[in-house]
Amino acid sequence: MLKLNIEMTSPTPTQKIDESQLPSGENNPVDIAEHATRSDILQYGVSPIQHLPVELLERIFILCLSHGKALPLINESTYPPLSLCCVCRSWREVAYGLPGLWTAVSVDMDVIDLEELNILPYLFEQWCSRANHHPLNFRFKSDDRHHKQTGEMLNTFITSLSRRLHHLDIDSPNFNWLIQPYFEMYGGVGGLDDKPWSTLQFPKLKSAIIRDDIDVCNDRTTPLFPSAPCLERIRLDRVSFPVDSVHWLIIPWSQLTHLILVKLLYSHLWHQVFSMCPNLQHGSFNITRGLPVGNTRRVAFNHLVELTIAFNYPVNPSILSIFDFPALMTLKIATDDYYHDKGDYWSDAICHRFCEQVAPLRRLSLHGHWPFALLLEAAPHVVELDVSYHFIRRMLLSILHDQELGEILLVPDLKVLVVQLPVQYSELEANMIADLIKSRMLTMSSWHVGNRLEKLVAYLDLDSPSEVACMDMLRAKLQPFVDGGLLLEFKDTTHPWFGRLDPAITEWHEGMMGITRKGDYVHIR
């Protein structure tokens, strides 16, 4: 049952504890303290925790919140903040009077009984009122397919909160129905009391995650966030654009700093979206081949530090040519098509332009088939490199070739190597990785003292006997270098490819969480 107001009283005073109940080992300070605490409770019915200063309690309560993780459920009394209200009356009073405890709330309709829905609005209002006027983080989840009561509940919550929302996370099919003007998309017309979504104001909204469908019409606007002057971060999992234009979706594109589009997007539509976001710092996209893109004006992304792109089908790299990336530090690209490493996709002009664009790179993640030498030679300052296993042999051959020439041409500043190992012949693959590391370490030790490889991270299936055998052999072969300071880590392949480089300081961690379902991104091993 849903419980928010919980009355609890202090324990009833009892007789003084009998001396025979003393714990053994009276000389132990811990035992003495425990006995003293127990005696106070039994004698006076008061726990020492009730003597803690309110200021200290408030700090402890705030630290109890799970920052960066799931928002607290409105009906979950076993976790903070509700659990803090269940200890005693004094704790409950402190918790109720601490607005910072109530600035985040999650409503999961799938774990709430239908008969309890009638009191849910009251509980929600009580929760939010305790936050005083602080900005709110709100998550709403429901798997019901267009359930009328669920949709009305969501509408009520957001309408009442729109001016206070700081972060919004919606996972409900009813949201698509809600944002269509007067619900005309589903054949209905809103009543006199209905407030169209397009009229809502979101003056404090900084970030939003919409996990379910958004159907953008091609004959009228879809006002997702028409009035959100502070909105900077947005993730859309299943937005469907008309085939010709993305402009029907009303979002403050130009002010976005973080944009994550999970669903496949035609290349010409991605081109439109990307061009409208010149202030991006982080962008993550899943692109498939679309209509040809004509000549358009050049756009400089002076703040873009990380770009993640998964190509689902052969996409001409020339679609990037009009963009400048002077601040780009991290590039993560993947493809499921082998044509991307063919010469007809990389003319001299495209190669030259690409080299200009990626020259500042310090971190590079390559998965799938790419013109290996071009990409690595174009980014000579890379210090962190994540590659698929089929690149390893080519890297080894390049290093051996460089040794013969007496120079280093390929990523000379490399510090961290991350590699995915799809093990088929564990001994062969372990030898290949070990030879690469040895060649790299010996070469850099001879010619560039202080610029050696510092860390190797290998991704394997740790439940596979053959991959565990590869791990053991690789560890044994590299032990001399580990003794000399090389860091060696093995991680499970369940980690998505786009998350294998260490997160950047400016990354939107909450926005990237949970993108692991098949189809969200191109999954390449």
**pLDDT classification of 258: cutoffs 50, 70, 90:** very high
Would 225 be classed as within a structural domain? no
What pLDDT sits at residue 187? 45
Would 492 be classed as within a structural domain? yes
Would 509 be classed as within a structural domain? no
Give whole-number Cα distances, 189 to 10, 32, 56, 144, 183, in Å.
Answer: 55, 72, 53, 21, 6
Identify each DSSP E strand in 109-159 by its residue range: 136-141
Would 397 be classed as within a structural domain? yes
What pLDDT sits at residue 487? 92
Q: How far apart are CA 198 and CA 375, in angstroms?
A: 45
What pLDDT sits at residue 169? 92
Residue range 430-448, pLDDT digits in tens = 787 888 788 777 765 544 5
What pLDDT sits at residue 234? 96
**pLDDT classification of 203: cutoffs 50, 70, 90:** very high
> Count of domains in the chain?
1
- Pairing between strand 207-215 and 384-388? unpaired
Higher pLDDT, 71 or 202: 202
Would 409 be classed as within a structural domain? yes
Q: How far apart are CA 370 and CA 391, in angstroms?
A: 10
User: Pseudo-torsion of CA 55, 87, 15, 31, nearest 10°?
Assistant: -70
| Residues above pLDDT 90, as percent of the chain | 17
- The torsion angles phi and psi of 241, rounded to 5 degrees, stand at -90, 155
Would 428 be classed as within a structural domain? yes
Residue range 20-63, pLDDT digits in tens = 443 444 444 334 444 554 555 555 555 666 677 777 777 777 77
Identify each DSSP E strand in 289-443 by its residue range: 299-300, 306-311, 323-324, 330-335, 363-367, 384-388, 416-420
Q: Report which DSSP code applies to 492.
A: E
Ordered alpha helix ranges (H), 10-77 = 29-44, 54-64
Give whole-number Cα distances, 220 to 237, 247, 271, 284, 308, in Å.
Answer: 21, 10, 21, 27, 31
Would 441 be classed as within a structural domain? yes
Whether 193 shows a pLDDT value over 50: the answer reads no
Would 477 be classed as within a structural domain? yes
Whether 174 shows a pLDDT value over 90: the answer reads no
Q: How far apart are CA 142 and CA 100, in angstroms?
A: 26
Q: How far apart are CA 431 and CA 409, in angstroms?
A: 23
- The torsion angles phi and psi of 23, rounded to 5 degrees, stand at -70, 155
Q: Give the structural domain span for 469.
A: 392-503
Residue range 218-231, pLDDT digits in tens = 777 888 998 999 99
Please name the helix (run of DSSP H) or strand (run of DSSP E) that holds residue 233, with its range, or none.
strand 233-240
Q: Report which DSSP code applies to 222.
A: B
Q: What is the CATH number of the domain that holds 453?
A: 3.40.1350
Give whole-number Cα distances, 218 to 116, 241, 275, in Å.
Answer: 40, 8, 20
**pLDDT classification of 4: cutoffs 50, 70, 90:** very low
Residue range 286-315, pLDDT digits in tens = 988 877 777 677 889 999 999 999 887 766
